[in-house]
Amino acid sequence: MSSSVRAEFMSRPGRHVNQQPQQHGQHRDKITQNLIRNYERNKNRKLMERNKNALKGVEFDSVH
C-alpha cells in the first residue's frame, strides 16, 4: 500500500474512522504511557551506565 493511497484511505470518512472514537483515545493514551515508560527506562539505564563508568573511574584511580 503506497503512502498516498493510505493517506487517501485515512482521510476518507467511513466506518473505520468513527466506529469507536473513545477507543482511539485510550489507545493513544496507552501509546503515550509506553513512550513515557520507555523514556524513563532509557534514562535510568543511561544514569546507571554513567554511575558504573564513574565507579569504574574511581576504582581505576584508587588502583594507581
Tally of structural domains, the chain: 1
- pLDDT (tens digit per residue) in 18-54: 555 555 567 778 888 899 999 999 998 888 888 887 7
> 14 pLDDT exceeds 60?
no
Q: Is residue 64 part of a domain?
A: yes
d(CA 40, CA 34) in angstroms, rounded, equals 10
- Residue 33 belongs to what domain range? 21-64
> Which pLDDT value is given to residue 21?
54
Rg (CA), the chain: 23
Sign of CA dihedral 37, 27, 25, 1: positive
Domain presence at residue 53: yes
Q: Which DSSP letter does residue 30 get?
A: H
What is the reported pTM? 0.37
